Amino acid sequence: MASAPLRLSPAPIKFGTDGWRGVLGVDITVERLLPVAAAAAQELAHRAPDGLNSRTVIIGFDRRFLAPELAEAIANAVRGCELEPLLTETPVPTPACSWAVVERKALGALVITASHNPPEWLGLKIKGPFGGSVEGDFTAAVERRLAAGGITPPIAATTSRFDGRGEHLEGLRRKLDLTALVTGLKAMNLKVFVDPMHGSAAGCVSDLLGPEASELVDEIRSTRDPLFGGNPPEPLAPYLSDLITAVQHSTAAGTPAVGLVFDGDGDRIAAVDENGRFCSTQLLMPLLIDHLARARQLPGTVVKTVSGSDLMRLVAEAQGREVLELAVGFKYIASEMLAGEVLIGGEESGGVGFGMHLPERDALFAAMLVLEALVEGGQPLGSRLDALQQRHGGASHYDRLDLRLQDMEARRRLETLLASSTPQQVAGDAVVEVNTTDGIKLRMGASHWLMLRFSGTEPLLRLYCEAPDRDRVDAVLAWAKRYAEAA
């Protein structure tokens, strides 16, 4: 992933697709964070649904540098708003805070985390009373409160704490048959390697599966490391060499294995199959759709983002499910989950949510369902995915390239070019369909498309491609890079 140059002056306080994030000590300081937390808490209280009489705001944090201390600080800001902060005892996956909001009928949650961003970043996520991220109109209101001033000062006092991690895991146990799952994994002799990338999901899979599965589960990079080994804690193949090697060695030694990986705050998932192949949610989502719709026969539509693999649609339609395709961003999926019956909703970047759970990404729950699907099918991940792809229209390959443009002017030139002269051919293939739901998506055929999408706040272009083979993916992305740089 492209990295922005380090800034020495703070950027304006502006919320992105899921919270406010920035460089610790530059953008994120105690002086800047306290009024943001107070404004967010005030807005949560202002928008409390009818009948919700709680004054509690859940406070959580991840394993990043100064995250525990800043969580304590914003608890004081919440208390200054005449509300009651309730702080997690330990670092927790962000979905644990969403779970606590729903279970305790709280006003919402404030979570100190920078999710999958680089180690020098930190930030604040806001969760609403429904157990998911607040939408853009909420964060715009928070920004207006900050601009207006008049934020109440913090009040220092001892903050009540609770076992947010344990309560979340207990909630997942109630939704899963973990005894049957462990029995099935043992029958398959399937080794499970877990890589939490030094993040707050560390130890959770082992705790869920219990001591009976101790010989099956092996966890790497589980210690706290605020530098995350020098890479962003994002579940992408370039950062997973240790996990890939562990899985390959186990399979070569005669014990097939699967790797599960979580991002820094435990709301994104990816996997590694028994052959060492990286499996993003472009492959995991079709597996989960098949398992939940066919094997579990759960109701609901399938929601995907426009950057999601065509295989999601093919598998869903084979099970007679309606498919909704939305702009990139889990907040759009969450809105559908709150409005109607959704089987599963997910995005290519690793976030998956389930209608039977929360309107929120929960990577731990997704991981358990992936293992459940493997046990149900009696095959390791790679074999299961290959069979699924062949049954629903053949294999496809996917990749994404983040291209940093020279400056915002270069971005504007490219946007103008794409709007006024949309490419009719891509790397020698004719464009047969143009989709402008989010950015521009150029389709060249079945499971063959290129999508160009700009970052909302910086000169960054995201290039997505799906194609029938790996060589074609590489050729299309190379063509798109040349096209963008020549604009």
User: What DSSP element (H or E) covers 148?
Assistant: helix 136-148
- Token pair 């899921």 in the structure block, residue: 18
What secondary structure does DSSP assign to 216-260, as a single string? Answer: TEEE-S-S--TTGGGS-----GGG-HHHHHHHHHHHHTT--EEEE
Region(s) of the chain under CATH 3.30.310.50: 397-486
Residues 434 and 421: their CA atoms lie apart, in Å, by 12
| 164, 183, 218, 370 from 180: Cα distances, Å | 26, 5, 20, 14
CATH 3.40.640.10 correct for 20-167: no
User: What DSSP element (H or E) covers 59?
Assistant: strand 56-61
Residue 267 near residue 360, CB atoms below 8 Å: yes
Phi, psi at 308, each rounded to 5°: -80, 150
Per the structure block, which two tokens stand in for 275? 């052959």
**242-267 tens-digit pLDDT:** 999 999 999 999 999 999 999 999 99
Residue 272 buriedness (CB in 10 A; 0-12 / 13-18 / 19+): buried
Residue 213 near residue 179, CB atoms below 8 Å: no
The confidence score (pLDDT) of residue 395 equals: 72
pLDDT over 90 percentage in the chain: 89
Residues 140 and 467: their CA atoms lie apart, in Å, by 38
Name the more confident of 105 and 458.
105
Residues 464 and 449: their CA atoms lie apart, in Å, by 8
The confidence score (pLDDT) of residue 239 equals: 96
The confidence score (pLDDT) of residue 79 equals: 98
pLDDT exceeds 90 at position 467: yes
Measure the CA angle with vertex 394, ends 393 and 396; round to 5°. 115
Predicted confidence band at 9 (pLDDT cuts at 50, 70, 90)?
confident
Q: Give the CATH class of 397-486.
A: alpha beta
Superfamily of domain 176-391: Alpha-D-Glucose-1,6-Bisphosphate, subunit A, domain 3 (3.40.120.10)
**271-283 tens-digit pLDDT:** 999 999 999 999 9
Mean local confidence (pLDDT), 103-115: 97
Neighbours of 321 (CB within 10 A): 18
User: What DSSP element (H or E) covers 282?
Assistant: helix 281-290
Residue 186 near residue 216, CB atoms below 8 Å: yes
